């Protein structure tokens, strides 16, 4: 299984998350995104607004928002 990207470009990470159904809410010191689920609930996601995102931060974001490793890596590879 491929590893999470080390120092991934922030714009590419945001595009990958948008591919997974997340929409950008606001951008400041952090980037806030949200995904509407089929059952009507919403999944929030917050990531730092840095030029590059560390792999450990990406793993934590995916874990907290319920994104599988495989799903994220596939979306990231497409971008």
**Structure-token match 């919403």, residue found:** 42
Instruction: Show the domains of the chain with their CATH numbers.
Output: 8-78 (3.30.920.30)
For strand 30-36 and strand 8-9, is the pairing parallel, antiparallel, or unpaired?
unpaired
Q: Give the model confidence (pLDDT) of 8-32 as tens digits.
A: 999 999 999 999 999 999 999 999 9
Cβ–Cβ < 8 Å for 34, 45: yes
- Rounded CA-CA distance 44/32 in Å is 7
Per-residue pLDDT tens over the stretch 33-73: 999 999 999 999 999 999 999 999 999 999 999 999 999 99
H helices present in 20-65, as ranges: 55-65
Instruction: Enter the pTM of the model.
Output: 0.92
- Which pLDDT score, from 0 to 100, does residue 4 have? 85
- What was the pLDDT predicted at 13? 96
Cα(76)–Cα(33) distance, rounded to whole angstroms? 16
| pLDDT the model gives residue 23 | 97
At 32 the three-state DSSP class reads strand
């Amino acid at each position: 299984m491929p590893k999470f990207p080390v120092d991934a470009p922030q714009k590419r990470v945001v595009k990958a998350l948008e591919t997974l159904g997340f929409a950008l809410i606001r951008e400041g010191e952090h980037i806030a995104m949200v995904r509407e689920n089929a059952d009507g609930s919403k999944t929030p996601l917050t990531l730092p607004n840095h030029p590059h995102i560390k792999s450990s931060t990406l793993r934590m974001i995916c874990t907290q928002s319920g994104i599988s490793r495989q799903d994220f890596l596939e979306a990231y590879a497409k971008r």
